[in-house]
Chains A and B, each alone.
Chain A
Amino acid sequence: NAGVTQTPKFQVLKTGQSMTLQCAQDMNHEYMSWYRQDPGMGLRLIHYSVGAGITDQGEVPNGYNVSRSTTEDFPLRLLSAAPSQTSVYFCASSYSGTGGQPQHFGDGTRLSIL
């Protein structure tokens, strides 16, 4: 099983550029989410989705957009990249978002913005 697949693994952008981080899962999970991980700050939730067509904001949503047109895919868009968005981004999925469900993470996208 592929699990949660994130692409690209590494990316360098210039300030003001836009890009989309891809996330796909093959486990038919309804719940998907995006986190960013910064040194000393742990992982912080950006956006999440409870199913196709339904998304909502997490704790740090500014500067990011998401959509969920299929169960499998949950892309994260940076509209106008800023140096503060330099981070490692992780996508996760689970059967549902309730407290008793384990979540599966991808290996991350390491993003640098110059």
Chain B
Amino acid sequence: DAKTTQPNSMESNEEEPVHLPCNHSTISGTDYIHWYRQLPSQGPEYVIHGLTSNVNNRMASLAIAEDRKSSTLILHRATLRDAAVYYCILRDFNAGGTSYGKLTFGQGTILTVHP
């Protein structure tokens, strides 16, 4: 699996935008960029994913660099409920064998949101 690099932690104030960066310089052409988050004592939660173009959904936006070597998860107005560990994960469309469907979670970014 291609490796991703994220900052260990970030802080934000409530109702302000948050930009969470992810570097993936060894990304391949068939890798999707996924973001998940995990709130305390809960299972991981899917946030958003994309391949080449920027993506928006009700939770967040995903901005993908033109060379695909980095991406940014954007939370438009942070709330206290957004405090979580955010994981940037690459998933190969063609992965098979023991890697089929597998999500490789790194250490992620711990987001703290201040009232």
| Interface of A toward B, CB cutoff 8 Å | 4, 31, 33, 35, 42-43, 45, 48, 50, 56-59, 90, 92, 94, 96-100, 102-108
Q: A43-B44, A92-B103 are in contact. List 18 more A-B contacts (CB 8 A).
A: A42-B106, A42-B107, A45-B98, A45-B102, A48-B100, A58-B102, A59-B98, A90-B44, A92-B43, A97-B100, A98-B93, A99-B92, A100-B51, A102-B34, A102-B49, A107-B41, A107-B43, A108-B41
A97 near B101 (CB under 8 angstroms)?
Answer: yes
Q: Which residues of A contact B94 (CB under 8 A)?
A: 99
B15 lies within 8 A of chain A by Cβ: no
A100 near B43 (CB under 8 angstroms)?
Answer: no
B51 near A105 (CB under 8 angstroms)?
Answer: no
Q: How far is the CA of A79 from the CA of B107 in the complex (A)?
A: 30
B25 lies within 8 A of chain A by Cβ: no
A-B pairs, 3 with minimum CB distance: A97-B101, A105-B43, A99-B91
A31-B101, A43-B105, A56-B98 given as contacts; is B30 within 8 A of A106 (CB)?
A: no
A103 near B100 (CB under 8 angstroms)?
Answer: no
A99 near B30 (CB under 8 angstroms)?
Answer: yes
B95 lies within 8 A of chain A by Cβ: yes
Q: How far is the CA of A97 from the CA of B17 in the complex (A)?
A: 32
Q: Which residues of A contact B31 (CB under 8 A)?
A: 99
- Residue of chain A at shortest CB distance from B49: A102
Q: How far is the CB of A43 from chain B (nearest CB, A)?
A: 5
- Residue of chain B at shortest CB distance from A105: B43
A102 near B101 (CB under 8 angstroms)?
Answer: no
Residue of B42, B91, B100, B105 ringed by the most chain A CB atoms within 10 A: B100
A43 near B103 (CB under 8 angstroms)?
Answer: yes
Within the complex, which residue of B95, B106, B107 is in contact with A99, where a contact is CB–CB below 8 Å? B95
A105 near B101 (CB under 8 angstroms)?
Answer: no
A57 near B98 (CB under 8 angstroms)?
Answer: yes
Q: How far is the CA of A68 from the CA of B60 in the complex (A)?
A: 34
A48 near B44 (CB under 8 angstroms)?
Answer: no
Q: How far is the CA of A108 from the CA of B44 in the complex (A)?
A: 10
